[in-house]
Amino acid sequence: MKGRVKMANGKKNHGKHGAPPPPPPQEKVVVKKRGGGCLIALIILILLAILAFLLGFHFGWWGKGKGDGDGDGKSSGNSTTSANKEAAQTDVYVTVSGAKYIYENNSIDIEAFVNKAAEIEGKVLVHITDDNAIDSAMNELTSALSKSKISYVEETTAEAQTTSKA
């Protein structure tokens, strides 16, 4: 018994140090939680899908019917066309010089000018420029336009004032 000495208490001494060798290391068992991270990711994906769906309808990426996404597929072309015709305004320019009426660089009599202005489709606004006009010529023109229910604006070249009449 060279390296081992029996002790008084009955235990064996294992060499110089006297301590028994350590037990072999045991493997640690790691318990993984399942579903916690996946559940959060799934909820986030569902919320993002709902958000994208709502934004798609808001910005018109998809929707019911044709057009701008506000309707049920029925065409509203007739009402839009008539609204555009009503909203559109045609400006017509005439100059009263002395007792003459000048329209499109030609001298024209008052009846012919009023007929041309009345034939124009939609809202018409006649711009009357006073170029040293005679008062009776201006009054005659404004009276004829008023009778035909054509809107007009009187403009003077010497003054910066603009008077509107219907």
0.85 surpassed by pTM: no
Does the structure show a pLDDT above 60 at 100? yes
| Residue 87: predicted pLDDT | 60
Q: How far apart are CA 2 and CA 52, in angstroms?
A: 83
Q: How far apart are CA 5 and CA 52, in angstroms?
A: 81
Q: How confident is the model at residue 49 (pLDDT cuts 50, 70, 90)?
A: very high
Q: How confident is the model at residue 15 (pLDDT cuts 50, 70, 90)?
A: low
Does the structure show a pLDDT above 90 at 54? no
Q: What is the mean pLDDT of residues 21-48?
A: 80
Q: What is the mean pLDDT of residues 65-93?
A: 58
Q: State how beta strands 106-108 and 123-131 pair.
A: unpaired
Q: How far apart are CA 16 and CA 4, in angstroms?
A: 9
Q: How confident is the model at residue 10 (pLDDT cuts 50, 70, 90)?
A: low
Whether residue 102 contacts residue 57, with contact meaning beta carbons closer than 8 Å, is answered with no
| Residue 8: predicted pLDDT | 57
Cα-Cα-Cα-Cα dihedral sign, residues 148, 149, 151, 157 = positive
| Residue 97: predicted pLDDT | 86
- Which tens digits make up the pLDDT trace of 140-159? 988 998 998 888 888 876 54
How far lies 81's CA from each of 23, 35, 72, 85, in Å?
Answer: 94, 59, 19, 6
Does the structure show a pLDDT above 90 at 123? no
Q: How far apart are CA 139 and CA 27, in angstroms?
A: 112
Q: What angle do CA 35, 40, 46 make, to 5 degrees?
A: 120
Please give the helix or strand (H or E) that residue 101 lies within, else none.
strand 100-103
Out of 56-65, 115-124, 126-135, pick the least confident. Answer: 56-65
SS3 104: coil
Q: What is the mean pLDDT of residues 98-124?
A: 88
